[in-house]
Chains A and B, each alone.
Chain A
Amino acid sequence: MIENIKNAIIRFKRSPAFTGFALFGFALILNIIIRGPAVFFSAQSMGTLFSKNAPIILVTMAQAVLLITGTLDISIGIQLALVNVVVIMLPQELGVSIPVAWLIGILVSLAISAVGGFLVAVLRIPSLLATFALTFVVMGINVLIMNVPQGSVPKAYYSTYDSLLFGFLPVAALMILGVALIWAVVKRTKFGKHIYAVGADPKKAFAAGINPTGTIMKAFLFKGFITGIAGIALTLMIASGNPLQVESYGLKSLAACIIGGLGFGGWGSMASGVYGVGFLVLIQNAVYYFFNFLQGTIVGFQITSYWQNFISDLIIMLGLLMTTVTARGQREALKQGISRQIKRGDKHAKES
């Protein structure tokens, strides 16, 4: 019995999501300690946590899919802003109804993702550079659509977003769950398997009769769909429009995925990204509340936001360092197939 538990733990340790999970767990515990379980798990605190962070979480999930295929998209942040301005300006300037505006917002996100996918999959420009260049283009487009921050969202919409279903389930969390479920299904389709094959080795995938170009393109479109939803969440969160916001979400989502263990293509899962972004978000929260607490209890203690950011960046850097420890364990497992063998109870003694 103990053997089984031990094996299960070892197996989990070697799975791709463990890296991020460990860090996420650490950050979670930190939050619980600093704020107290009652406060932290209260409906209000959970609600805020999800509604404020749904955009970055969703965007990280989208980024995770790209990373599995071996590509990435730095412009994903500014694309959020694109959806935001479209969704605000359409009702405002053209009287389009809000649900239709949302639909068009998602279509726009798909369109710009198609462009990104075209650059990366068809023109074969390295994704880091191509999407960096794309950032400029999207920035320009955003300002052309909306030149200064403006706009509003009807209260009915954004208060629903902020609210809690049945008193405890944040609407924002449902959005995240929805996307996660969609991914769970996609993973079990041909397309899902092809994403992993292409990410691991495009040449071998091609030899197996898969079209890497098509697969990467579809992955970008899938990312565009999730980004569209994230853009709507962002709009509801800030209840207004801003053409040049959240550009940093591009690099942030990338860092979150890497922290979660998605360093190389063809390996890992969306869960890794979720753990990674959970870690980032919770650490920043923890630092913020910790300094609040200090400022509250120690008279005359002042700390600028620069220092808060410095400390959270430092912890994040340490988190990156941690991933090497856990990631190395994963890669070894991959090489030695221990996880499989332990699961089957085989006595194939460790060959290496």
Chain B
Amino acid sequence: MISIKGVNKSFGTVVALKDARLEVKEGEIMALLGSNGSGKSTMIKILSGLYNPNSGSVEIDGKKVKIKSCVDAHNEGIATAFQDLSLVPTMTVIDNLVLGIEPLGKFGLLNRVKAVRMAKDILDRLGVVCDMDAYVQTLPMSTQSMIEVAKAILLKPKVLLLDEVTASLHHDEIQLLFNLVRELKAQGIAILFVTHRMGEVFELSDRVTIMRSGITVIDEDTSKLSMDDIVYYMTGKRPDAGKAEINLEMKEERELILDVKNLKQSKVRDISLQAYKGEIIGIAGLQGQGQPTFIRTVLGLMKPEDGSIIYKGKQTHYKSPENGIKNGMGFISGDRNKESIFQHRSIEENIYAGKAATQNIFKYVTVKEMKQFSLDAINAYKIVAGNVKDPATSLSGGNQQKLVVSRWIALAPDLLLLDDPTKGVDVHSRREIQQILRASALKGMTVIISSSENEELIEISDRIYVFYEGEISGVLKKEDMSMEKLVAAQMGMTSEGNGV
């Protein structure tokens, strides 16, 4: 059993954890919940040895321990499967699985036979089929996630931390994983898992710990909590029943902003899609069915191998995103850190980035201009920020994403492309972003949004295209959107009712 108390952790001026606590007993499955900025990721990183807490104590089986590195954590019996994967992409599956615990043979050389045996055993239990000598980088994300979990289990831990590992997994894989987790629970292992998906909480966990703004708000048996309770503890507010009005008015003559015909580009095999002015088009589908590729090809990051893209009536021959953006497109990525946020630059500069990209490079910009531009955006989109000169990383994840959204909306693009923008964003910020998108669509902006959250798509889209294996398996109109139809299309089952 593991218990952590009185934990404080700050990064410069940002307080991530304030006197936080957490306790998981042997043979117990604990779900750790919290919005972005709640401190739950920080908590996991402290337990796994990646972060150094400013204060606090960790006890394992009643004994005080000091965790100064990941090696310490491993020695104390704590293993972690990380959300952003601790696998080394340029090394093979088997090298990764035994990294740090390499079985040795004669003369201190690696014992490959033993390593293969270890690896095969755990991969079989997880139902993972892959070439052990394949470079991790070449495998699909869901397989990589499973290997990440396998790696943690190979350490034979007493405490297993699973940080959002189901994000990339298929339904079947999730079930296999949950079965294994239940086996481990029966063996007396304490399991802590972090997730954004309510369904998983109720399906798997015995107890729930909820964090908010760096404090541990409550820990309680899962059976004693309702969904509304959980949302309340996470946000401090009762979930608002008021969903924004759906704009059902469809004008007769609508301008066809984007007309994609038979697009082919790597994962995208044959996609045709139309988007009219003012529409919000949702793109649904399991991970890796070609959605990000589609969006980036429209933007101009990749060149189509075949097919055509007609934007605002003209065939596009884009060579780089800059072409698309110059023609009125905007792009918001779900991977903020890699694709949208400039971490060392200030909030002000981050907001101004879109505008900076579209102006003549020799234009003179005054200090006041930039400041005004960013203040306007902060006010318009209710971004919670301190000083605009602070680095962008001082904002919480949700606010960072709102910053990125505002960066683009301020430029009033004709077509806004979003690739899973609310992934890992807290409920509150998510709702605000949705409202911003709806308001902009009403003003005439066309939105294409790809998302892994089906509820979100159903709530916000006028029409939903479902991607399956690089093709469209279904198009749902507002009137006949339902979760069952969506999931069916995602699995590749097309039926008469879904006109394509």
Contact = CB atoms under 8 A, between A and B. Distances in A.
Max chain B C-beta neighbours (<10 A), residue from A193, A341, A344, A351:
A193
Contact of A205 (B99, B102, B137, B138): B99
B138 A190 contact: no
Interface stretch (B28-36, B81-89, B207-215): B81-89
Interface residues of B, number: 35
Given A196-B91, A201-B88, A337 B134 contact: yes
A206 B110 CA distance: 20
A204 B87 contact: yes
Contacts of A211: 69, 71
B74 interface: yes
Given A207-B80, A267-B90, A193 B108 contact: no
Contacts of B100: 208-210
Contact of B135 (A194, A201, A340, A351): A340
A201 to B, nearest CB: 5
Contacts of A346: 131
B133 interface: yes
A351 B290 CA distance: 11
Contacts of A351: 266-267
A337 B138 contact: yes
B471 to A, nearest CB: 15
B99 A334 contact: no
Contacts of A335: 137-138
Given A208-B99, A340-B135, A189 B50 contact: no
Given A206-B69, A267-B90, A193 B134 contact: no
Interface string B106-118: 0011100000000
Interface string B31-63: 000000000000000001010000000000000
B267 A340 contact: no
Contact of B110 (A193, A334, A336, A337): A193
B90 A193 contact: no
B101 interface: yes
Majority SS of interface residues in chain A? helix
B95 interface: yes
Interface string B234-277: 00000000000000000000000000000000110000000000
Given A334-B138, A344-B131, A352-B266, A210 B99 contact: yes
Contact of A200 (B48, B89, B104, B131): B89
Contacts of B50: 206-207
B181 interface: no
A185 interface: yes
A207 B86 contact: yes
Contacts of A197: 88, 91, 95, 99
Interface string A173-212: 0000000000001001110011011001100111111110
Given A188-B109, A196-B91, A351-B267, A207 B70 contact: yes
Contacts of B70: 206-209
Nearest to A210: B100
A266 interface: yes
Max chain B C-beta neighbours (<10 A), residue from A188, A190, A200, A207:
A207
Nearest to A191: B108
Contact of A188 (B48, B82, B90, B110): B110
Contacts of B108: 189-190
Contact of A334 (B102, B104, B137, B267): B137
B239 to A, nearest CB: 36
Interface string B303-345: 0000000000000000000000000000000000000000000
Nearest to B92: A340
Nearest to A198: B88
A166 B102 CA distance: 42
A337 to B, nearest CB: 3
Contacts of A190: 102, 104, 108, 110
B443 to A, nearest CB: 38
Contacts of B137: 334-335, 337
Contacts of B80: 207
Nearest to B99: A208
Interface in A269-294: none
Contacts of A200: 88-91
Given A189-B109, A193-B99, A197-B99, A209 B131 contact: no
A57 B25 CA distance: 58
A337 B143 CA distance: 14
B90 A207 contact: no
B331 to A, nearest CB: 21
A337 B133 CA distance: 10
Interface in B206-229: none
Interface of B: 48, 50, 69-71, 74, 80, 82, 85-91, 95-96, 99-102, 104, 108-110, 131, 133-135, 137-139, 151, 266-267
17 contacts: A189-B108, A190-B110, A197-B91, A200-B88, A200-B90, A204-B85, A205-B88, A207-B70, A207-B86, A208-B86, A208-B151, A266-B91, A337-B135, A340-B138, A344-B131, A351-B266, A351-B267
- 9 nearest CB pairs, A to B: A337-B138, A209-B100, A207-B86, A208-B100, A208-B99, A352-B266, A200-B90, A200-B88, A188-B109
Given A193-B91, A211-B69, A341-B131, 11 more contacts: A201-B88, A204-B87, A206-B70, A207-B48, A207-B80, A207-B82, A209-B99, A209-B100, A335-B137, A337-B134, A351-B267
